[in-house]
Structure 1
Amino acid sequence: MSRSPYELSAPADVLARLHPHLRTYFGPVPPGSVGRGEGVFTVVGTPRRWLWPVLALFARDAVVFPVWEHDVPFTVENRPVRVGRGAGAGAVDLAPGPVPARDAGRVAVRARRTFHFRSGDRTMVDAITAEPEGLVDHLGHRGRVSALLAVDVAATGPDAGALRLVSTRVTVRALGRGWSLPAVIAPRVVLTERFDDDADVQRVSLVLSAPVLGTLYRYEGAFRYAVVPDDA
Protein backbone atom coordinates (compact mmCIF):
# COMPACT_ATOMS: atom_id res chain seq x y z
CA MET A 1 0.00 0.00 0.00
CA SER A 2 1.73 3.18 -1.17
CA ARG A 3 -0.88 5.53 0.33
CA SER A 4 -3.22 4.98 3.24
CA PRO A 5 -7.02 5.46 2.99
CA TYR A 6 -6.59 8.64 5.04
CA GLU A 7 -4.09 10.02 2.52
CA LEU A 8 -6.37 9.07 -0.37
CA SER A 9 -9.41 10.76 1.20
CA ALA A 10 -8.28 13.83 3.14
CA PRO A 11 -6.75 16.98 1.62
CA ALA A 12 -2.95 17.01 1.80
CA ASP A 13 -2.90 20.36 3.59
CA VAL A 14 -5.12 18.93 6.35
CA LEU A 15 -2.91 15.89 6.95
CA ALA A 16 0.18 18.09 6.86
CA ARG A 17 -0.98 19.53 10.19
CA LEU A 18 -0.83 16.12 11.89
CA HIS A 19 1.52 15.65 14.82
CA PRO A 20 4.62 13.81 13.50
CA HIS A 21 3.91 10.75 15.65
CA LEU A 22 0.36 10.50 14.32
CA ARG A 23 1.62 10.42 10.74
CA THR A 24 2.89 6.91 11.45
CA TYR A 25 -0.52 5.81 12.73
CA PHE A 26 -2.52 7.31 9.86
CA GLY A 27 0.06 6.73 7.15
CA PRO A 28 0.53 3.59 5.06
CA VAL A 29 1.58 0.29 6.62
CA PRO A 30 4.24 -1.15 4.28
CA PRO A 31 3.79 -4.67 2.88
CA GLY A 32 5.21 -7.23 5.27
CA SER A 33 4.59 -4.96 8.25
CA VAL A 34 1.86 -4.40 10.80
CA GLY A 35 1.02 -1.54 13.14
CA ARG A 36 0.78 -2.62 16.78
CA GLY A 37 -0.09 -0.71 19.91
CA GLU A 38 -0.68 -1.47 23.57
CA GLY A 39 -2.22 0.62 26.32
CA VAL A 40 -5.10 1.12 28.74
CA PHE A 41 -8.60 2.51 28.28
CA THR A 42 -9.67 4.50 31.32
CA VAL A 43 -13.33 3.80 30.45
CA VAL A 44 -15.15 1.54 27.98
CA GLY A 45 -18.88 1.16 27.30
CA THR A 46 -21.83 2.84 29.00
CA PRO A 47 -23.27 2.84 32.53
CA ARG A 48 -26.79 2.97 31.04
CA ARG A 49 -27.62 -0.71 31.45
CA TRP A 50 -30.94 -0.44 29.63
CA LEU A 51 -28.86 -0.04 26.45
CA TRP A 52 -26.96 -3.27 27.00
CA PRO A 53 -29.44 -5.61 25.23
CA VAL A 54 -29.10 -3.46 22.08
CA LEU A 55 -25.32 -3.35 22.38
CA ALA A 56 -25.30 -7.13 22.79
CA LEU A 57 -26.79 -7.48 19.30
CA PHE A 58 -23.90 -5.47 17.83
CA ALA A 59 -21.39 -7.38 19.95
CA ARG A 60 -22.14 -10.49 17.88
CA ASP A 61 -20.51 -8.76 14.91
CA ALA A 62 -17.62 -7.28 16.96
CA VAL A 63 -18.82 -3.66 16.82
CA VAL A 64 -19.51 -2.61 20.45
CA PHE A 65 -19.98 -4.47 23.73
CA PRO A 66 -22.48 -4.34 26.64
CA VAL A 67 -20.01 -3.28 29.32
CA TRP A 68 -19.03 -0.43 31.62
CA GLU A 69 -15.49 -0.91 32.87
CA HIS A 70 -12.55 1.22 33.95
CA ASP A 71 -8.81 0.69 33.43
CA VAL A 72 -9.16 -1.89 30.65
CA PRO A 73 -5.86 -3.05 29.07
CA PHE A 74 -6.05 -3.32 25.30
CA THR A 75 -4.04 -3.96 22.17
CA VAL A 76 -4.58 -2.65 18.66
CA GLU A 77 -3.39 -4.10 15.38
CA ASN A 78 -3.61 -2.23 12.07
CA ARG A 79 -3.01 -4.34 9.02
CA PRO A 80 -3.07 -3.39 5.30
CA VAL A 81 -5.55 -5.61 3.48
CA ARG A 82 -7.59 -5.84 0.32
CA VAL A 83 -11.27 -6.23 1.04
CA GLY A 84 -14.07 -7.84 -0.91
CA ARG A 85 -17.77 -7.04 -0.97
CA GLY A 86 -20.01 -8.79 1.53
CA ALA A 87 -23.48 -10.15 1.02
CA GLY A 88 -25.16 -6.74 1.20
CA ALA A 89 -24.67 -4.21 -1.58
CA GLY A 90 -21.55 -2.26 -0.72
CA ALA A 91 -20.84 -4.25 2.44
CA VAL A 92 -17.26 -5.11 3.24
CA ASP A 93 -16.28 -8.67 4.11
CA LEU A 94 -13.52 -8.60 6.74
CA ALA A 95 -13.34 -12.35 7.11
CA PRO A 96 -9.98 -13.90 6.16
CA GLY A 97 -9.77 -15.43 2.74
CA PRO A 98 -9.20 -14.63 -0.93
CA VAL A 99 -10.60 -11.42 -2.39
CA PRO A 100 -12.62 -11.63 -5.63
CA ALA A 101 -10.83 -10.28 -8.70
CA ARG A 102 -13.40 -7.49 -9.09
CA ASP A 103 -12.14 -5.96 -5.81
CA ALA A 104 -8.43 -6.52 -6.42
CA GLY A 105 -7.62 -2.82 -6.42
CA ARG A 106 -9.59 -1.94 -3.28
CA VAL A 107 -7.25 -1.31 -0.34
CA ALA A 108 -8.10 -0.90 3.32
CA VAL A 109 -6.62 -0.79 6.79
CA ARG A 110 -8.20 -3.43 9.01
CA ALA A 111 -8.07 -2.70 12.74
CA ARG A 112 -8.49 -5.22 15.54
CA ARG A 113 -8.81 -3.75 19.04
CA THR A 114 -8.74 -6.42 21.73
CA PHE A 115 -10.18 -5.36 25.09
CA HIS A 116 -9.05 -7.38 28.11
CA PHE A 117 -12.27 -7.13 30.15
CA ARG A 118 -12.64 -8.73 33.56
CA SER A 119 -15.10 -11.18 31.98
CA GLY A 120 -12.68 -12.09 29.18
CA ASP A 121 -11.20 -10.76 25.98
CA ARG A 122 -13.41 -9.20 23.28
CA THR A 123 -12.21 -7.94 19.91
CA MET A 124 -13.66 -5.02 17.96
CA VAL A 125 -13.14 -5.16 14.19
CA ASP A 126 -13.43 -2.48 11.53
CA ALA A 127 -11.92 -1.47 8.20
CA ILE A 128 -11.16 1.97 6.82
CA THR A 129 -11.46 2.46 3.05
CA ALA A 130 -11.19 5.39 0.67
CA GLU A 131 -14.45 5.60 -1.29
CA PRO A 132 -15.50 8.11 -4.00
CA GLU A 133 -17.53 10.01 -1.39
CA GLY A 134 -14.68 10.09 1.15
CA LEU A 135 -13.29 8.13 4.09
CA VAL A 136 -15.58 5.29 5.22
CA ASP A 137 -15.35 3.13 8.33
CA HIS A 138 -16.95 -0.32 7.90
CA LEU A 139 -17.83 -1.78 11.29
CA GLY A 140 -17.87 -5.42 12.32
CA HIS A 141 -16.83 -8.61 10.62
CA ARG A 142 -19.10 -8.05 7.61
CA GLY A 143 -19.14 -4.27 7.50
CA ARG A 144 -22.91 -4.07 7.30
CA VAL A 145 -22.85 -0.82 9.27
CA SER A 146 -20.65 1.94 7.90
CA ALA A 147 -19.99 5.60 8.63
CA LEU A 148 -18.86 8.30 6.22
CA LEU A 149 -16.30 10.40 8.10
CA ALA A 150 -15.27 14.03 7.85
CA VAL A 151 -11.56 14.49 8.57
CA ASP A 152 -10.08 17.52 10.32
CA VAL A 153 -6.77 18.31 12.01
CA ALA A 154 -6.53 21.15 14.50
CA ALA A 155 -4.03 23.82 13.44
CA THR A 156 -3.88 25.73 16.73
CA GLY A 157 -4.88 25.45 20.36
CA PRO A 158 -4.38 22.65 22.90
CA ASP A 159 -5.31 19.97 20.34
CA ALA A 160 -3.01 21.26 17.58
CA GLY A 161 -1.90 18.32 15.45
CA ALA A 162 -4.76 16.09 16.65
CA LEU A 163 -6.97 14.28 14.15
CA ARG A 164 -10.75 14.44 14.54
CA LEU A 165 -13.17 12.21 12.66
CA VAL A 166 -16.89 12.99 12.71
CA SER A 167 -19.53 10.83 11.04
CA THR A 168 -21.69 12.67 8.53
CA ARG A 169 -23.73 9.68 7.37
CA VAL A 170 -24.46 6.23 8.78
CA THR A 171 -25.51 3.42 6.44
CA VAL A 172 -27.00 0.04 7.34
CA ARG A 173 -26.93 -2.67 4.68
CA ALA A 174 -29.85 -5.09 4.54
CA LEU A 175 -32.02 -6.78 1.94
CA GLY A 176 -29.30 -6.37 -0.67
CA ARG A 177 -28.94 -2.59 -0.44
CA GLY A 178 -27.62 0.21 1.74
CA TRP A 179 -30.04 2.32 3.81
CA SER A 180 -28.82 5.75 4.94
CA LEU A 181 -30.29 6.58 8.31
CA PRO A 182 -32.11 9.94 8.57
CA ALA A 183 -30.22 12.58 10.55
CA VAL A 184 -32.97 12.72 13.19
CA ILE A 185 -32.25 9.14 14.28
CA ALA A 186 -28.72 8.45 13.01
CA PRO A 187 -26.07 7.89 15.66
CA ARG A 188 -23.06 10.21 15.55
CA VAL A 189 -19.47 9.10 15.98
CA VAL A 190 -16.73 11.49 17.10
CA LEU A 191 -13.20 10.10 17.27
CA THR A 192 -10.20 12.16 18.39
CA GLU A 193 -6.61 10.98 18.22
CA ARG A 194 -3.84 13.17 19.64
CA PHE A 195 -0.28 12.75 20.80
CA ASP A 196 0.73 13.69 24.34
CA ASP A 197 4.36 14.78 24.17
CA ASP A 198 4.73 15.04 27.95
CA ALA A 199 3.59 11.46 28.57
CA ASP A 200 4.95 10.15 25.24
CA VAL A 201 1.68 8.35 24.46
CA GLN A 202 -1.07 8.56 21.87
CA ARG A 203 -4.46 9.42 23.37
CA VAL A 204 -7.73 8.30 21.81
CA SER A 205 -11.33 9.22 22.58
CA LEU A 206 -14.45 7.88 20.86
CA VAL A 207 -18.02 8.95 21.62
CA LEU A 208 -21.08 7.36 20.01
CA SER A 209 -24.20 9.45 20.60
CA ALA A 210 -27.74 9.78 19.28
CA PRO A 211 -30.31 12.57 19.10
CA VAL A 212 -32.40 12.86 22.29
CA LEU A 213 -30.70 9.84 23.92
CA GLY A 214 -27.25 11.43 24.21
CA THR A 215 -24.13 9.30 24.72
CA LEU A 216 -24.68 5.63 23.86
CA TYR A 217 -21.13 4.30 24.10
CA ARG A 218 -17.62 5.61 24.57
CA TYR A 219 -14.04 4.71 25.21
CA GLU A 220 -10.95 6.73 25.94
CA GLY A 221 -7.40 5.91 26.86
CA ALA A 222 -3.74 6.02 25.89
CA PHE A 223 -1.31 3.69 24.16
CA ARG A 224 2.06 3.40 22.45
CA TYR A 225 2.20 2.36 18.81
CA ALA A 226 4.80 1.32 16.25
CA VAL A 227 4.97 -0.24 12.78
CA VAL A 228 6.92 -3.49 13.02
CA PRO A 229 7.70 -6.52 10.82
CA ASP A 230 4.69 -8.81 10.51
CA ASP A 231 5.43 -12.12 12.22
CA ALA A 232 1.99 -13.61 11.50
Structure 2
Amino acid sequence: MTRSPYELSAPAEVLARLHPRLCTYFGAVPPGHVDRGEGVFAVVGTPRRWLWPLLALFARDGVVFPVWERDVPFTVENRPARVRRGAADGREARPAVRAHRTFRFRSGDRTMVDAITAEPEGLVDHLGRRGRVSALLRTEVDADGPDAGALRLVSTRVTFRALGRGWGLPVVVAPRVTLVERFDDDADVQRVSLVLAAPLVGTLYRYEGAFRYAVVPDDAAGAAPGGGTTWSSSNRGS
Protein backbone atom coordinates (compact mmCIF):
# COMPACT_ATOMS: atom_id res chain seq x y z
CA MET A 1 0.00 0.00 0.00
CA THR A 2 1.69 3.22 -1.17
CA ARG A 3 -1.00 5.54 0.23
CA SER A 4 -3.33 4.93 3.14
CA PRO A 5 -7.14 5.23 2.87
CA TYR A 6 -6.87 8.50 4.81
CA GLU A 7 -4.39 9.89 2.29
CA LEU A 8 -6.54 8.70 -0.61
CA SER A 9 -9.77 10.26 0.66
CA ALA A 10 -8.92 13.42 2.63
CA PRO A 11 -7.77 16.67 0.97
CA ALA A 12 -4.02 17.17 1.16
CA GLU A 13 -4.46 20.57 2.81
CA VAL A 14 -6.42 18.94 5.64
CA LEU A 15 -3.84 16.23 6.30
CA ALA A 16 -1.06 18.83 6.16
CA ARG A 17 -2.41 20.21 9.46
CA LEU A 18 -1.93 16.89 11.27
CA HIS A 19 0.52 16.61 14.16
CA PRO A 20 3.73 15.07 12.75
CA ARG A 21 3.40 11.99 14.96
CA LEU A 22 -0.13 11.40 13.68
CA CYS A 23 1.07 11.59 10.08
CA THR A 24 2.92 8.33 10.65
CA TYR A 25 -0.04 6.65 12.36
CA PHE A 26 -2.51 7.57 9.62
CA GLY A 27 -0.06 7.13 6.75
CA ALA A 28 0.53 3.96 4.78
CA VAL A 29 1.87 0.96 6.68
CA PRO A 30 5.18 -0.02 5.05
CA PRO A 31 5.23 -3.39 3.28
CA GLY A 32 6.10 -6.21 5.66
CA HIS A 33 5.26 -4.13 8.72
CA VAL A 34 2.36 -3.57 11.11
CA ASP A 35 1.38 -0.82 13.57
CA ARG A 36 1.16 -2.10 17.15
CA GLY A 37 0.20 -0.10 20.21
CA GLU A 38 -0.53 -0.64 23.89
CA GLY A 39 -2.25 1.57 26.44
CA VAL A 40 -5.15 2.03 28.83
CA PHE A 41 -8.70 3.23 28.28
CA ALA A 42 -9.92 5.44 31.12
CA VAL A 43 -13.51 4.37 30.35
CA VAL A 44 -15.20 1.92 27.97
CA GLY A 45 -18.90 1.31 27.31
CA THR A 46 -21.95 2.93 28.87
CA PRO A 47 -23.43 3.03 32.40
CA ARG A 48 -26.92 2.81 30.85
CA ARG A 49 -27.58 -0.85 31.46
CA TRP A 50 -30.88 -0.76 29.58
CA LEU A 51 -28.77 -0.41 26.42
CA TRP A 52 -26.70 -3.52 27.14
CA PRO A 53 -29.06 -6.04 25.44
CA LEU A 54 -28.81 -4.01 22.22
CA LEU A 55 -25.04 -3.68 22.51
CA ALA A 56 -24.79 -7.43 23.11
CA LEU A 57 -26.16 -8.03 19.61
CA PHE A 58 -23.34 -6.01 18.09
CA ALA A 59 -20.77 -7.54 20.44
CA ARG A 60 -21.13 -10.86 18.60
CA ASP A 61 -19.54 -9.25 15.54
CA GLY A 62 -16.87 -7.29 17.42
CA VAL A 63 -18.44 -3.82 17.08
CA VAL A 64 -19.27 -2.64 20.64
CA PHE A 65 -19.65 -4.40 24.00
CA PRO A 66 -22.21 -4.33 26.86
CA VAL A 67 -19.84 -3.04 29.54
CA TRP A 68 -19.01 -0.05 31.69
CA GLU A 69 -15.47 -0.32 32.97
CA ARG A 70 -12.63 2.00 33.91
CA ASP A 71 -8.87 1.62 33.51
CA VAL A 72 -9.07 -1.06 30.84
CA PRO A 73 -5.72 -2.16 29.36
CA PHE A 74 -5.83 -2.60 25.58
CA THR A 75 -3.72 -3.33 22.55
CA VAL A 76 -4.25 -2.17 18.99
CA GLU A 77 -2.92 -3.59 15.74
CA ASN A 78 -3.32 -1.85 12.38
CA ARG A 79 -2.58 -4.05 9.43
CA PRO A 80 -2.76 -3.31 5.68
CA ALA A 81 -5.45 -5.28 3.87
CA ARG A 82 -7.52 -5.33 0.71
CA VAL A 83 -11.30 -5.37 0.95
CA ARG A 84 -13.45 -6.43 -1.99
CA ARG A 85 -16.80 -4.68 -1.85
CA GLY A 86 -18.78 -7.52 -3.39
CA ALA A 87 -17.55 -10.34 -5.57
CA ALA A 88 -20.59 -10.36 -7.82
CA ASP A 89 -20.28 -6.81 -9.15
CA GLY A 90 -16.68 -7.21 -10.31
CA ARG A 91 -15.22 -4.44 -8.18
CA GLU A 92 -11.52 -4.62 -7.50
CA ALA A 93 -10.34 -5.05 -3.93
CA ARG A 94 -9.69 -1.68 -2.33
CA PRO A 95 -6.70 -0.82 -0.12
CA ALA A 96 -7.73 -0.89 3.52
CA VAL A 97 -6.38 -0.70 7.03
CA ARG A 98 -7.81 -3.39 9.28
CA ALA A 99 -7.68 -2.69 13.02
CA HIS A 100 -7.99 -5.08 15.94
CA ARG A 101 -8.44 -3.45 19.37
CA THR A 102 -8.32 -5.98 22.18
CA PHE A 103 -9.84 -4.84 25.48
CA ARG A 104 -8.71 -6.59 28.68
CA PHE A 105 -12.04 -6.49 30.50
CA ARG A 106 -12.42 -7.98 33.96
CA SER A 107 -14.70 -10.61 32.41
CA GLY A 108 -12.15 -11.52 29.74
CA ASP A 109 -10.62 -10.23 26.52
CA ARG A 110 -12.88 -8.86 23.76
CA THR A 111 -11.72 -7.65 20.35
CA MET A 112 -13.22 -4.82 18.32
CA VAL A 113 -12.64 -5.16 14.56
CA ASP A 114 -13.03 -2.66 11.75
CA ALA A 115 -11.63 -1.85 8.31
CA ILE A 116 -11.12 1.62 6.83
CA THR A 117 -11.36 2.05 3.05
CA ALA A 118 -11.29 4.96 0.63
CA GLU A 119 -14.49 4.80 -1.44
CA PRO A 120 -15.62 7.15 -4.25
CA GLU A 121 -17.90 8.91 -1.74
CA GLY A 122 -15.14 9.28 0.84
CA LEU A 123 -13.61 7.51 3.83
CA VAL A 124 -15.72 4.56 5.03
CA ASP A 125 -15.35 2.56 8.24
CA HIS A 126 -16.71 -0.99 8.03
CA LEU A 127 -17.39 -2.13 11.57
CA GLY A 128 -17.27 -5.70 12.83
CA ARG A 129 -15.87 -8.93 11.48
CA ARG A 130 -18.47 -9.08 8.71
CA GLY A 131 -18.72 -5.35 8.03
CA ARG A 132 -22.48 -5.23 8.47
CA VAL A 133 -22.36 -1.70 9.86
CA SER A 134 -20.64 1.01 7.81
CA ALA A 135 -20.11 4.71 8.46
CA LEU A 136 -19.20 7.36 5.90
CA LEU A 137 -16.77 9.71 7.64
CA ARG A 138 -15.88 13.37 7.28
CA THR A 139 -12.22 14.14 8.03
CA GLU A 140 -11.40 17.31 9.98
CA VAL A 141 -8.12 18.72 11.32
CA ASP A 142 -8.09 22.05 13.17
CA ALA A 143 -5.23 24.43 12.46
CA ASP A 144 -5.69 26.33 15.74
CA GLY A 145 -7.24 25.88 19.16
CA PRO A 146 -6.98 23.13 21.79
CA ASP A 147 -7.34 20.35 19.21
CA ALA A 148 -4.87 21.79 16.70
CA GLY A 149 -3.21 18.96 14.79
CA ALA A 150 -5.72 16.35 15.98
CA LEU A 151 -7.65 14.16 13.57
CA ARG A 152 -11.41 14.24 13.98
CA LEU A 153 -13.65 11.81 12.10
CA VAL A 154 -17.40 12.48 12.12
CA SER A 155 -19.93 10.13 10.55
CA THR A 156 -22.27 11.68 8.00
CA ARG A 157 -24.15 8.51 7.07
CA VAL A 158 -24.58 5.12 8.71
CA THR A 159 -25.65 1.96 6.87
CA PHE A 160 -26.74 -1.42 8.22
CA ARG A 161 -26.79 -4.55 6.10
CA ALA A 162 -29.87 -6.70 6.62
CA LEU A 163 -32.24 -8.79 4.49
CA GLY A 164 -29.71 -8.96 1.69
CA ARG A 165 -29.16 -5.23 1.21
CA GLY A 166 -27.74 -2.09 2.79
CA TRP A 167 -30.13 0.24 4.62
CA GLY A 168 -29.15 3.87 5.15
CA LEU A 169 -30.68 5.32 8.31
CA PRO A 170 -32.42 8.72 8.16
CA VAL A 171 -30.39 11.52 9.71
CA VAL A 172 -33.04 12.18 12.36
CA VAL A 173 -32.54 8.71 13.89
CA ALA A 174 -29.07 7.66 12.73
CA PRO A 175 -26.41 7.28 15.43
CA ARG A 176 -23.43 9.58 15.05
CA VAL A 177 -19.83 8.49 15.51
CA THR A 178 -17.20 11.04 16.53
CA LEU A 179 -13.59 9.88 16.81
CA VAL A 180 -10.76 12.20 17.88
CA GLU A 181 -7.10 11.18 17.81
CA ARG A 182 -4.49 13.64 19.07
CA PHE A 183 -0.89 13.51 20.19
CA ASP A 184 0.04 14.69 23.68
CA ASP A 185 3.60 16.02 23.46
CA ASP A 186 3.97 16.50 27.21
CA ALA A 187 3.05 12.89 28.05
CA ASP A 188 4.49 11.47 24.79
CA VAL A 189 1.31 9.44 24.15
CA GLN A 190 -1.43 9.34 21.56
CA ARG A 191 -4.87 10.04 22.99
CA VAL A 192 -8.06 8.66 21.46
CA SER A 193 -11.71 9.36 22.16
CA LEU A 194 -14.75 7.80 20.51
CA VAL A 195 -18.38 8.72 21.17
CA LEU A 196 -21.41 6.97 19.64
CA ALA A 197 -24.51 9.11 20.16
CA ALA A 198 -28.10 9.15 18.91
CA PRO A 199 -30.68 11.95 18.61
CA LEU A 200 -32.94 12.29 21.67
CA VAL A 201 -31.08 9.50 23.51
CA GLY A 202 -27.60 11.01 23.76
CA THR A 203 -24.43 8.98 24.29
CA LEU A 204 -24.87 5.27 23.56
CA TYR A 205 -21.27 4.14 23.91
CA ARG A 206 -17.83 5.65 24.33
CA TYR A 207 -14.22 4.98 25.07
CA GLU A 208 -11.25 7.22 25.73
CA GLY A 209 -7.67 6.58 26.65
CA ALA A 210 -4.02 6.84 25.68
CA PHE A 211 -1.42 4.56 24.13
CA ARG A 212 2.00 4.35 22.58
CA TYR A 213 2.64 2.54 19.32
CA ALA A 214 5.40 1.57 16.95
CA VAL A 215 5.73 0.40 13.36
CA VAL A 216 7.33 -3.03 13.61
CA PRO A 217 8.15 -5.94 11.27
CA ASP A 218 5.10 -8.12 10.70
CA ASP A 219 5.89 -11.50 12.27
CA ALA A 220 2.74 -12.91 10.63
CA ALA A 221 3.64 -11.69 7.13
CA GLY A 222 3.90 -15.20 5.83
CA ALA A 223 0.28 -15.93 6.77
CA ALA A 224 -1.69 -13.76 4.35
CA PRO A 225 -1.35 -10.43 6.21
CA GLY A 226 -4.56 -8.45 6.42
CA GLY A 227 -6.50 -10.99 4.47
CA GLY A 228 -8.31 -10.58 1.18
CA THR A 229 -11.71 -10.03 2.74
CA THR A 230 -14.72 -10.32 0.46
CA TRP A 231 -18.13 -9.07 1.61
CA SER A 232 -21.36 -9.60 -0.25
CA SER A 233 -22.30 -7.07 -2.90
CA SER A 234 -25.22 -5.94 -0.73
CA ASN A 235 -22.77 -4.53 1.83
CA ARG A 236 -22.25 -1.13 0.20
CA GLY A 237 -20.65 1.01 2.79
CA SER A 238 -23.11 3.84 2.69
What is the TM-score of this pair, normalised by structure 1? Answer: 0.92
Partner of 2:178: 190
Q: Does 1:161 align with 2:129?
A: no
Partner of 2:23: 23
Deviations 1:96-148 (A, max 9, x none): xxxxxx45541100000000000000000000000000000000011011000
Q: Please state how far the C-alpha of 1:178 moved relative to its aligned partner.
A: 1.2
1:83 partner SS: strand
The answer on whether the counterparts of 2:74 and 2:101 sit within 8 Å (CA) in structure 1 is yes
The answer on whether the counterparts of 1:86 and 1:143 sit within 8 Å (CA) in structure 2 is no
The answer on whether the counterparts of 1:86 and 1:142 sit within 8 Å (CA) in structure 2 is no
1:228 partner SS: strand
Deviations 1:46-87 (A, max 9, x none): 000000000000000000000000000000000000113469
Q: How does 1:35-54 map to 2 (within 5 A)?
A: 35-54=35-54
Corresponding residue to 1:176 among 149, 152, 164 = 164
What is the TM-score of this pair, normalised by structure 2? Answer: 0.90
Deviations 1:140-197 (A, max 9, x none): 0110110000000010011110000000000111222211100111000000000000
CA distance in 2, matches of 1:86, 1:113: 25
Assess, with a 3 A threshold, how the Cα gap between structure 1 residues 86 and 60 changes in structure 2: closer, same or farther.
farther
Q: How does 1:33-182 map to 2 (within 5 A)?
A: 33-85=33-85, 102-182=90-170
The answer on whether the counterparts of 1:55 and 1:64 sit within 8 Å (CA) in structure 2 is yes
Partner of 2:11: 11
**Structure 1: gaps of 5 or more residues:** 91-101
CA distance in 2, matches of 1:18, 1:227: 18
Paired positions, count: 220
1:24 partner SS: helix
1:158 partner SS: coil
CA distance in 2, matches of 1:199, 1:125: 27
Partner of 2:223: none
Large movers: runs of 4+ above 6 Å: none
Aligned letter for 1:151?
T
Partner of 2:190: 202
Percent identical across equivalent pairs? 84
1:225 partner SS: strand
Deviations 1:176-223 (A, max 9, x none): 221110011100000000000000000000000000000000000000
RMSD: 1.4
Corresponding residue to 2:203 among 198, 211, 215 = 215
